[in-house]
């Protein structure tokens, strides 16, 4: 942990210095690729630190609050990275859309599918809380339609774009819908997100442990979570510039930036979900995966739209016609082209 913090804050000092190796662009020097890999490695390492501290908090808070803390910690990183790329002047209007689509594909198809395979091989049969899973899907489907499909059908702006009023309405609706879900998840329907057998793999720490000791331990975890999170936030602009320069130099497609951001952010949480499956905690793994997908769309949409309104940069949310694939089914593609 100490080594990770030292690496993260050392990278911050180097990349934020007025001059130095942090100013080397990916295509301008032989050191460029090494600098990019170093920066990428530090950010991913710090992301693992955020997940580790969030899991400690999750153990103290129990389900579903614990999983919610872990999921929101990761999504904050994702929103920060997307915002940094947008504010870096990279002129990628589809970045938010590409990142959300990549997250849905990676999480719902990749991590969930691999988790079910690992769980089936290791435990043969596993149980999970169906009510919680269906609740997540009931949120993910409308959020995905709002973010990735509905913008293609608006007539007051260009294809896939939103007018000012539409952007405000879309932002408000996604925040309201996601906020209502969080209220139900942490309130009257809390039981939907606990294991079907009633045994909580993350029971709240007992009061007998001592109120003062619990408070000190929780405060320590929050402090280290922030110490791991801050380097990611501070380095996000440097990563955005390196990523933009590299994609431009290689002539790679713009959606690659969204895929890279999604992989950076959700690699630690994906590993946590697979570990939960290996421990026969399928409900927790599903909460992590589906919660990540829901919170990504619910928070990324208002974030990118607000940044676009503030900076005046165009934001394209609607997917291309060939991209409109049902993320839940993960394979039944149907072409939708509202303009033809």
Q: How confident is the model at residue 244 (pLDDT cuts 50, 70, 90)?
A: confident
Model confidence at 334: pLDDT above 70:
no
Q: Mean pLDDT lowest for which of 178-187, 246-255, 303-312?
A: 246-255
pLDDT tens for 122-168 read 888 888 888 888 999 999 999 998 888 888 887 766 666 788 888 88
pLDDT band at 337 (very low <50, low <70, confident <90, very high): very low
pLDDT(247) > 50: yes
Phi/psi at 333 (nearest 5 deg)?
-85, 135
Instruction: State yes or no: pLDDT of 106 exceeds 70.
Output: yes
Mean pLDDT to the nearest integer, 88-92: 69
Distance CA 280, CA 201 (A): 10
Does residue 244 contact residue 257 with C-beta atoms inside 8 Å?
A: yes
- Predicted pLDDT at 176: 92
Q: Is the pLDDT of residue 249 over 70?
A: yes
139-153, 226-240, 287-301, 320-334: least confident range: 320-334
Whether the predicted pLDDT of 330 surpasses 80? no
pLDDT of 174 strictly over 70: yes
Higher pLDDT, 106 or 93: 106
Phi and psi angles of residue 94, each rounded to the nearest 5 degrees, phi first: -100, 10
Rounded to the nearest integer, the mean pLDDT of the chain is 79
Between 87-101, 109-123, 155-169, 198-212, the lowest mean confidence (pLDDT) is in 198-212
Which DSSP string corresponds to 107-152? IIIIIHHHHHHHHHHHHS-----HHHHHHHHHHHHHHHIIIIIGGG
CA diameter of the chain: 66
Determine contact, residues 188/131, Cβ cutoff 8 Å: no
Q: How far is CA 49 from CA 225, 264, 265, 335, in A?
A: 7, 13, 12, 41
pLDDT of residue 20: 56
Q: What percent of the chain has pLDDT over 90?
A: 5
Cross-strand partners of 333 = 325
* pLDDT band, residue 212 (cuts 50/70/90): low
Tokens of 13: 């000092």
263-315 pLDDT, tens per residue? Answer: 888 888 888 888 889 988 888 888 888 988 898 888 888 988 898 888 888 88
In angstroms, the CA 49 to CA 257 distance is 23
Burial of 19 (0-12, 13-18, 19+ CB in 10 A): exposed
């Amino acid at each position: 942990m100490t080594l990770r913090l030292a690496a993260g804050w050392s990278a911050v000092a180097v990349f934020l210095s007025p001059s130095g190796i942090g100013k080397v662009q990916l295509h301008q020097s032989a050191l460029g690729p090494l600098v990019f890999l170093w920066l990428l490695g530090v950010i991913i390492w710090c992301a693992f630190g955020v997940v580790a501290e969030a899991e400690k908090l999750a153990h103290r808070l129990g389900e579903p609050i614990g999983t919610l803390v872990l999921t929101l910690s990761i999504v904050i990183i994702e929103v920060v990275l997307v915002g940094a790329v947008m504010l870096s002047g990279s002129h990628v209007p589809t970045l938010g859309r590409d990142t959300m689509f990549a997250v849905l594909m990676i999480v719902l198809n990749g991590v969930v599918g691999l988790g079910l395979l690992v769980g089936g091989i290791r435990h043969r049969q596993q149980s999970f809380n169906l009510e919680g899973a269906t609740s997540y899907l009931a949120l993910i489907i409308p959020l995905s339609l709002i973010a990735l499909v509905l913008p293609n059908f608006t007539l007051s702006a260009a294809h896939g774009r939103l007018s000012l009023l539409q952007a405000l309405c879309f932002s408000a609706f996604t925040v309201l819908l996601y906020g209502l879900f969080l209220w139900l998840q942490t309130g009257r329907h809390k039981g939907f997100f606990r294991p079907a057998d009633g045994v909580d793999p993350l029971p709240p720490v007992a009061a007998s442990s001592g109120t003062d000791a619990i408070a000190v331990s929780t405060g320590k975890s929050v402090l280290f979570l922030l110490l791991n999170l801050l380097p990611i936030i501070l380095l996000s602009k440097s990563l955005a510039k390196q990523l933009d320069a590299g994609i431009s130099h290689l002539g790679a497609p713009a959606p690659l930036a969204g895929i890279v951001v999604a992989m950076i952010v959700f690699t630690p949480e994906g590993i946590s979900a697979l570990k939960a499956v290996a421990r026969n905690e399928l409900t927790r793994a599903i909460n992590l995966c589906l919660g990540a997908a829901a919170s990504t769309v619910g928070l990324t949409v208002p974030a990118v739209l607000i940044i676009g309104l503030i900076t005046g940069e165009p934001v394209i949310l609607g997917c291309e016609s060939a991209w409109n694939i049902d993320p839940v089914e993960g394979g039944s593609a149907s072409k939708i082209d509202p303009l033809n």
